[in-house]
Amino acid sequence: MAGEKTVETTGLLGWIDRRFPLTSTYKAHLSEYYAPKNFNFWYFFGSLALLVLVIQIVTGIFLVMNYKPDAKLAFLSVEYIMREVPWGWLIRYMHSTGASMFFVVVYLHMLRGLFYGSYRKPRELVWVFGVAIFLCLMGEAFFGYLLPWGQMSYWGAQVIVNLFSAIPYIGPELSIWIRGDYVVSDATLNRFFAFHVIAIPLVLLGLVVAHIVALHEVGSNNPDGVEIKQGPKDRNGHPLDGIPFHPYYTVHDIMGVAGFLLVFAAIIFFGPEMGGYFLESNNFIPADSLKTPPHIAPVWYFTPFYSMLRATTSDFTWVLSAGAIIAAIALFLKGGLRGFWRILVPVILIIIAILMKTLDAKFWGVVDMGGSVVILFFLPWLDRSPVKSIRYRPTWHKFLYALFIVTFLVLGFIGTKPPNPTYNIISQIGTVIYLGFFLLMPVWSRLGTFKPVPERVVFHAH
């Protein structure tokens, strides 16, 4: 940077710096990484996600020291950890609570990105890496859910793996390949253990590094959606609307960490089961392949998508088919898509609408469940709004976001309950709202009167 002096480090640190970019990395990502000065509490959740990842890795290492990935011994080894290993109960509860808190933090982190347009140019790749991390977390949680070898984990894995059998032509063989057997068995437990402990964590760590590097390359977004790198700079080339991440935001995040740890500790010591949402009572019963629980449901963080799966019946495919055609027409006429994409996207939706009645409803349920996550990858290109932040969008946009959030929470609640006709109708309405929110985003995100975006960030000291 102009006007800056390069100070060469000496001693041990200098010796390391001549062989490894320690000081330059510290400067690039902490002391000389300038972040917008108007961050609010929504920006706690990125660092909290990193904290929970560390907690999960450390507690997981200690659990593996005493866990036996064997169908005959898995449940007993978990009981041994809980009852005999010194502080084993604490480590196990930290890990089980950490899994749920990971999704709480990640959902809030993604919601902040949705509010402030953190997926918009030039941060498309940051968002794509983030959604890939979310998918890895879902896989990690699913594979880890079987390991206690309790009734709910066993039958939950059986139900989820059986969903793959709905895929035309290759489904049944694919299900057997995933399980390694015709039913969930010792072979399934061993391969799920390998994925949970080694394979997915390696991919997850790589994606986290890529996510952070990509973020620091383009700079952080802020509640105003103003690019501070393009704004006025001081004589050293630093943005006037930015402040060094360290020490300002490290102290800022420490406050968030303190609050989070208070909640985390309260759950661990006073309510680790959280009324059955974090740890189901059926999972304290050894897995029995001859006795099916009366109601099988996944853990709470999967239930919104599970509700969409259950909602997709033969009759409901007519509604989805009609919705796909309406979305195709709306995108073609008012979606703001250009060139090749203006034709391709509506054609794909119309083909899906035609195929909707030719394939089994169970398959389309799996497509709805998977598609509701995969569609997040395309959010940077679905949002056609002229502004990034919700602060400068029309008021009715905020009501749409509120409707989306309420719908997601309702779907999550219904997914934990036994199915009944009333819940099924609500789930179907919720599925239409969820999918319509994203599929019609190129249309509604462009409508309304937008407020002028300030040239510099709006900051009030607090």
Annotated binding site for heme b: 95, 109, 196, 211
Q: What angle separates helix 45-64 from helix 250-270, to the nearest 10 degrees? A: 50
Answer for the pair 263, 256: CB distance below 8 angstroms, yes or no. no
Q: Residue 402 to residues 98, 115, 134, 410: CA-CA distances in angstroms?
A: 27, 11, 22, 12
Compute the distance between CA of residue 296 and CA of residue 307 in angstroms, rounded to an integer: 12
Q: Residue 426 to residues 400, 421, 438: CA-CA distances in angstroms?
A: 18, 9, 19
Answer for the pair 51, 109: CB distance below 8 angstroms, yes or no. no
Torsion of CA 345, 347, 350, 356, to 10 degrees: -80
Helix (H) or strand (E) segment spanning residue 242 = strand 242-244
Answer for the pair 132, 227: CB distance below 8 angstroms, yes or no. no
Compute the distance between CA of residue 223 and CA of residue 389 in angstroms, rounded to an integer: 6
Using DSSP, state whether 384 is helix, strand or coil: coil
Q: Residue 381 to residues 34, 72, 416, 440: CA-CA distances in angstroms?
A: 27, 50, 33, 12
Q: 459: buried, middle or exposed (CB in 10 Å: 19+, 13-18, 0-12)? A: middle
C-alpha closest to that of 445 among 330, 308, 325, 304:
330
Helix (H) or strand (E) segment spanning residue 398 = helix 395-415
Residue type at 280 in one-letter notation:
E
Residues placed in the known binding site for a ubiquinone: 216
* Three-class secondary structure assignment of 247-267: HHHHHHHHHHHHHHHHHHHHH
Other C-beta atoms closer than 10 Å to the C-beta of 8 total 8
Other C-beta atoms closer than 10 Å to the C-beta of 61 total 11
C-alpha closest to that of 226 among 110, 117, 126:
117
Phi, psi of 239 (to 5 degrees): -65, 135
Residues placed in the known binding site: 95, 109, 196, 211, 216
Residues in the chain: 462
